């Protein structure tokens, strides 16, 4: 459930972790009513006994693993299973099954018994499964997961399922339907992050919340520990360790404040050469001294983020976002977790000199976010609320799912120093008076969950048409002058963009950030003078944006280029093998524009 803790599985004196990643059995249910799996109870036996299976890597999206278009474009229940044994040492421990992400609906069985369900991708969900582990010491346990990627007008993100009209004179294959997406990106599906088992003692630490403040040179660390079971308040002890492992602060009880004199603050990379980026402390919680006490170590950083007038302050210093928009995916594994790709993408960001990124248009993996904390990137953390295009999408049911998505994301990422912003949506329908109550509710709700961070949405409307932007802490606008509008008309970019930026700044008097600007670019297409889709056009386009940004500096507090790398989309005539606005290809090689952005970001000096 949304309110229970989602602490990342970590080993300690009291906790073990067993990854269930690997090759699982897999089958799509493409039976006529897409319901054979439930009718025939595939969860009661091994999937290999009820039909054909193929090997499927976990974690990975399943779509691009095979050569079968029915699997790539499948809509419905995809079935997975695997078997595992447990050490008999685990007999007296609490055993939790955690799935870090499954797109979109998931039902999970252990040894034929349903143990949990979850709605919404890109967020972990977990359940205690001791009572289902009937064969703890002498038999394999079977784990079955059914995942359904169907998007409806009320899911986050929304989509529609369309059937041909019953009396259509135009022929269709039997049982034919289509899934229409309301987002640019391909709807990758499956179990795309780790699946793990971990143990805790029977009485355990369920959740920890840390907020920080700075007074002069002293770091103020407020902590709150939630435990479950028989743990007297007075038994809880808390220590803060610095990077070298020395104890620099101590406390006791389930909540309190610890002061750290001369604290090492958490700073962003590529911002000010005097500051060491990404400094992390560890909060170490013990629930007692006994052998059955629980121990959990949570990394955290000490930093503040504030809006003052039109400026953003990180640790009371003015901050400018040298940002990149990222749509985190890659060939073959789709949105599947891949350590090599995480490090590669961070290396690309370091190489271009970025100091921040946006997780467009869904929450990235916890392993990815750990790197942001450690390397010092500020993160605009976004829920998958992309494509809330119509007032129909803004229903009570959507709001419920949207609130769930917000609370789960905040539960997962609330202790990350890298996260400065909760992005509640990308390009939603906010230009209608009827939209206002919906966005008031989602923004107020988000603020009630975490008043310590900023809140916004990525806006594609105009300063004089948007009806909700006054609700946000800082304004993010997606702009495509010279691409989607005024296509190819480079000379219009500077005057029209400058006018636009000035109007936004003057109308709202809040910090203003460009959250997307970019041009589709096919690597190796060269044209002088430039034309759309050539590498030269991307450079001409970007340099006009950059000149405008520089001439609007007082009104602008950052820029997030769209986007870091090319990515897969649904098929359309505006996309040639996916979205090509990357400054790097999908294979992570630079287009010419990457060198330009690198030059800009590495020589940009307004805060150093």
Residues that bind ligand GCB (CB under 6 A): 184, 360-361, 426-427, 460, 478, 516, 562, 579, 581
> Which residue lies nearer to ligand GCB by CB, 107 or 183?
183
> Which residue lies nearer to ligand GCB by CB, 25 or 515?
515
Q: How far is the CB of 214 from ligand GCB (least distance, A)?
A: 34
Nearest to 501 by CA among 514, 492, 489: 514
Q: How many CB atoms lie within 10 A of CB 228?
A: 17
> Which residue lies nearer to ligand GCB by CB, 184 or 473?
184
Residue recorded with tokens 């289509």: 178
> Which residue lies nearer to ligand GCB by CB, 149 or 569?
569
**Through-space distance between the first and last CA atoms of the chain, rounded to whole angstroms:** 44
Q: How far is the CB of 476 from ligand GCB (least distance, A)?
A: 10
DSSP 468: S
DSSP 399: H
Dihedral, 126, 127, 130, 133 alpha carbons, nearest 10: -70
Q: How far is the CB of 479 from ligand GCB (least distance, A)?
A: 9
What whole-number distance in Å separates Cα of residue 426 and Cα of residue 529? 34
3-class DSSP state of 234: helix
Q: How far is the CB of 540 from ligand GCB (least distance, A)?
A: 18
3-class DSSP state of 404: helix
Nearest to 84 by CA among 128, 147, 127, 22: 22
- What sign has the CA pseudo-torsion 565, 568, 572, 577? positive
Catalytic residues: 427
What whole-number distance in Å separates Cα of residue 188 and Cα of residue 102? 10
What whole-number distance in Å separates Cα of residue 258 and Cα of residue 207? 18
Q: How far is the CB of 548 from ligand GCB (least distance, A)?
A: 18
> Which residue lies nearer to ligand GCB by CB, 299 or 384?
384
Residue recorded with tokens 């029209």: 496
Q: Which single residue brings its beta carbon nearest to ligand GCB?
A: 184
Tokens for 136, please give them.
Answer: 């703890």
Q: How far is the CB of 325 from ligand GCB (least distance, A)?
A: 8
Contact 583, 564 (CB under 8 A): yes
> Which residue lies nearer to ligand GCB by CB, 104 or 279?
104
Nearest to 602 by CA among 314, 344, 277, 355: 355
């Amino acid at each position: 459930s949304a309110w229970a803790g989602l602490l990342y599985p970590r080993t300690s004196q009291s906790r073990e972790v067993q990854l269930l990643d690997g090759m699982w059995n897999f089958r799509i249910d493409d039976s006529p009513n897409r319901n054979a799996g439930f009718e025939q109870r595939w969860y009661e036996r091994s999937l290999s006994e009820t039909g054909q299976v193929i090997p499927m890597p976990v974690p990975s999206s399943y779509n691009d693993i095979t050569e079968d278009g029915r699997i790539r474009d499948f809509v419905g229940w995809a079935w997975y299973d695997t078997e595992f044994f447990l050490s008999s040492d685990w007999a007296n421990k609490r055993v939790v099954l955690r799935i870090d992400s499954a797109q979109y609906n998931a039902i999970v069985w252990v040894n034929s018994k349903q143990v949990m369900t979850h709605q919404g991708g890109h967020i972990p969900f977990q359940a205690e499964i001791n009572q289902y582990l009937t064969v703890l010491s002498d038999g394999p346990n079977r784990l079955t997961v059914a995942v359904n990627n169907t998007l409806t007008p009320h899911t986050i993100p929304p989509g529609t399922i369309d059937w041909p009209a019953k009396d259509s004179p135009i022929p269709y294959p039997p049982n034919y339907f289509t899934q229409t997406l309301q987002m640019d990106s391909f709807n990758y599906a499956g179990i795309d992050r780790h699946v793990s088992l971990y143990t805790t003692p029977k009485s355990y630490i369920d959740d920890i919340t840390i907020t920080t403040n700075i007074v002069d040179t002293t770091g103020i660390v407020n902590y709150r520990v939630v435990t479950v079971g028989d743990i007297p308040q007075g038994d809880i002890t808390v220590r803060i360790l610095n990077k070298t492992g020395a104890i620099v602060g101590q406390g006791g009880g389930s909540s309190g404040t610890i002061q750290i004199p001369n604290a090492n603050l958490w700073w962003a990379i590529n911002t000010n050469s005097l500051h060491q980026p990404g400094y992390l402390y560890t909060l170490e919680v013990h629930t007692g001294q006994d052998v059955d006490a629980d121990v959990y170590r949570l990394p955290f950083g000490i930093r503040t983020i504030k809006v003052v007038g039109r400026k953003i302050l990180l640790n009371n210093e003015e901050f400018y976002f040298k940002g990149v928009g990222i749509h985190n995916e890659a060939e073959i594994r789709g949105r599947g977790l891949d350590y090599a790709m995480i490090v590669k993408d961070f290396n690309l960001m370091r190489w271009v000199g970025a100091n921040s990124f946006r997780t467009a248009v869904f929450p990235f993996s916890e392993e990815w976010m750990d790197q942001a904390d450690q390397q010092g990137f500020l993160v605009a953390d976004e829920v998958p609320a992309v494509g809330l295009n119509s007032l129909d999408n803004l229903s009570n049911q959507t709001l419920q799912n949207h609130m769930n998505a917000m609370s789960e994301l905040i539960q997962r990422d609330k202790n990350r120093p890298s996260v400065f912003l909760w992005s509640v949506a990308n390009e939603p329908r906010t230009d209608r008076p009827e939209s206002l109550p919906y966005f008031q509710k989602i923004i107020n709700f988000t603020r009630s969950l975490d008043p310590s961070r900023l809140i916004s949405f990525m806006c594609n409307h105009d300063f004089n048409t948007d009806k909700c932007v006054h609700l946000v802490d800082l304004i993010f606008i997606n702009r495509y002058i010279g691409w989607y509008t005024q296509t190819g008309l480079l000379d219009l970019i500077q005057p029209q963009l400058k006018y636009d930026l000035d109007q936004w700044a003057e109308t709202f008097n809040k910090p203003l950030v460009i959250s997307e600007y970019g041009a589709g670019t096919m690597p190796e297409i060269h044209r002088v003078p430039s034309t759309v889709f050539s590498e030269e056009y991307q450079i001409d386009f970007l340099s006009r944006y950059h000149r405008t940004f520089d001439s609007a500096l007082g009104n602008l507090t950052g820029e997030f280029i769209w986007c870091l790398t090319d990515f897969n989309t649904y098929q359309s005539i505006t996309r040639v093998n996916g979205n090509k606005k990357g400054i790097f290809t999908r294979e992570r090689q630079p287009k010419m524009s990457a060198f330009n952005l690198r030059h800009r970001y590495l020589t940009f000096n307004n805060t150093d």
